[in-house]
């Protein structure tokens, strides 16, 4: 049984159709290229990036979410490649993405560690990791995200995991997010834009 497939298996887009606000801001800093959106859900960020001219692939664990990604892409008149993957065992390629976007994708510790290692490996030199994730302080807000503290992010761990990357943006604090039914108000997040250094840098 896949709870994410069940969650997304509705007519309504449970996180809405509009992109995450941080994705809108971060996209302004990206060169056009190949973008991977992981744990992409119903496709709102992937489709938005495709409307800007990026070559976008969306990965998710729920086929219902990928189906809705394709439906939203058709609505917007763009193409997004969708692939069904479980991040616990997906095969990451080597230096094939110009950016990897990771919005509110929260995983058990082992899967998160494996995912970060995969991101580091599969970003091209000069490529960017873009994320907005709930911190452990989000439990006090109750406006979205996992209710299990172990799935929430300790910001220092991200800094340690991406040691050696160039930090273009790193912010911890409050934001206001109204994203469908499940992200509903003031929240506590960590935002990152980490750039993989070029070999000559």
Per residue in 58-75, pLDDT tens? 999 999 999 999 999 999
Angle between helix 44-51 and helix 63-76 axes, rounded to 10 deg: 30
Q: Average the pLDDT over 172-197 and give the result.
A: 95
Domain with 188 in it: what CATH number?
3.40.50.150
Is 200 within the bounds of a domain? no
- The answer to whether residue 101 sits within a structural domain is yes
Find the mean pLDDT for residues 150-173: 97
Mean pLDDT of 135-162: 96
Range of the domain at 145: 3-195
In this prediction, residue 10 carries a pLDDT of 87
201 lies in a domain? no
Enumerate residues 6+ apart whose C-beta is below 8 A from 201: 166
Number of domains in the chain: 1
pTM given for the model: 0.96
DSSP letter at 43?
S
């Amino acid at each position: 049984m896949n709870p994410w497939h069940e969650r997304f298996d509705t007519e309504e887009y449970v996180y809405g159709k509009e992109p995450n606000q941080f994705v809108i801001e971060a996209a302004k800093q990206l060169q056009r290229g190949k973008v991977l959106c992981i744990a992409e859900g119903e496709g709102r960020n992937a489709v938005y990036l495709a409307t800007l001219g990026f070559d976008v692939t969306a990965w998710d664990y729920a086929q219902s979410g990928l189906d809705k990604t394709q439906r939203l892409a058709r609505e917007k008149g763009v193409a997004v490649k969708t692939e069904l993957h479980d991040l616990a065992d997906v095969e990451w390629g080597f230096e094939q993405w110009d950016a990897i976007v990771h919005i509110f994708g929260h995983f058990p510790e082992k899967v998160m560690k494996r995912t970060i290692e995969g991101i580091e490996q599969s970003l091209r030199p000069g490529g960017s990791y873009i994320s907005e994730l709930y911190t452990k302080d989000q439990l006090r807000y109750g406006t979205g995200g996992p209710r299990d503290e172990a799935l929430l992010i300790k910001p220092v761990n991200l800094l340690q995991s991406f040691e050696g990357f160039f930090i273009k943006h790193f912010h911890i604090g409050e934001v206001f997010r109204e994203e469908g039914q499940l992200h509903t108000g003031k929240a506590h997040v960590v935002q990152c834009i980490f750039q993989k250094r070029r070999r000559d840098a």
